[in-house]
Amino acid sequence: QVQLVESGGGEVQPGGSLRLSCAASGFSFGVYPMHWVRQAPGKGLEWVARLSHDATSVQYLDSVRGRFTVSRDNSKNTFYLQMKSLRPDDTAVYYCAKDSINWSVDFWGQGTLVTVSS
């Protein structure tokens, strides 16, 4: 069965950096685009970024473009989110999600909490 396990969250000061990882199993990772979606405490869902299966095509939310970078290692079945210049409004649970090919996401990880605070 599909499993997505995020890690790397924690508390960081404004302006700091953090790298999130998403370990995937139970499907052919190298075939599917992957996404990051976040949820601020008590708030709704916000799509953050998408990376194609071969890492040649990427899309970002405007508010993170230039600060966040997505990447993947298909040999390790792992998806990453490098976050720099973090701001308090980046505080959220970050979910990785598997693309379902037909322009949607069908499986989500359990999420990892990122807290940006001084």
Partner 1 sequence: DVVMTQSPLSLPVTLGQPASISCRSSQSPVSTDGNTYLNWFQQRPGQSPRRLIYEVSRRDSGVPDRFSGSGSGTDFTLKISRVEAEDVGVYYCMQSLHWPWTFGQGTRVEIK
* Residue among 37, 7, 40 at smallest CA distance from 21: 7
Q: How far apart are CA 25 and CA 89, in angstroms?
A: 31
Compute the least distance from the CB of residue 115 to partner 1, in Å.
18
Q: Which is nearer to partner 1, 84 or 107 (CB)?
A: 107
DSSP for 6-25, please give it: EE--EEE-TT--EEEEEEEE
Contact letters for partner 1, residues 9-48 (x by CB under 8 A): ----------------------------x------xxxx-
Q: Which stretch binds partner 1 (CB under 8 A): 7-15, 25-33, 76-84, 109-117?
A: 109-117
**2 to each of 10, 92, 110, how far by Cα in Å?**
25, 24, 12
Question: According to the binding rule CB under 8 A, does residue 110 interact with partner 1?
Answer: yes
Compute the least distance from the CB of residue 56 to partner 1, in Å.
16
Tokens representing 19 are 């790298």
Residue from 52, 59, 77, 91 in contact with partner 1 (CB under 8 A): 59
Q: Which pairing describes strands 34-39 and 45-51: parallel, antiparallel, or unpaired?
A: antiparallel
* Interface positions with partner 1 (CB under 8 A): 37, 44-47, 50, 59-62, 95, 100, 102-111
